[in-house]
Amino acid sequence: MALSLDLVRQTAPSPASPEISLADLPAGEYGVVIHLAGGSELLGRMATLGLTPGTEITVLRNSGRGPLIVLARNTRIALGRGEARKIRVRRGEQ
């Protein structure tokens, strides 16, 4: 199933829900992907990995430098810090 890049870009941040960069989400916390900021190459990679708007994501490892390890759609994914900065998330309710 081909995923349109327009679908990946479509979810704009809502002013009512504060958003943060995935790189700023501490280990053990989760959020929902709300926006991806990047070119077509990054958007294509994120879509291939299943990181699209609406996806629940849990940070397994974020040491403050180096790659992040996240869990999305029952899959562990390693993301570079630069990639993680371009993924905007809304923190999950605790």
The domain that contains 31 carries what CATH number? 2.30.30.90
Quote the domain boundaries for residue 77: 5-91
Per-residue pLDDT at 54 exceeds 80 = yes
User: Count of CB atoms within 10 A of residue 76's CB?
Assistant: 11
User: In angstroms, rounded to a whole number, what is the distance separating the alpha carbons of residues 54 and 27?
Assistant: 20
Give the model's confidence band at 6: pLDDT under 50 very low, under 70 low, under 90 confident, else very high. low
Q: Single out the residue of 52, 56, 60 nearest to residue 93, CA to CA.
A: 56
Mean pLDDT of 41-65: 94
Give the model's confidence band at 17: pLDDT under 50 very low, under 70 low, under 90 confident, else very high. low
Longest dimension (CA), the chain: 35
* Overall number of domains in the chain: 1
Helical (H) or strand (E) element with 8? helix 5-9
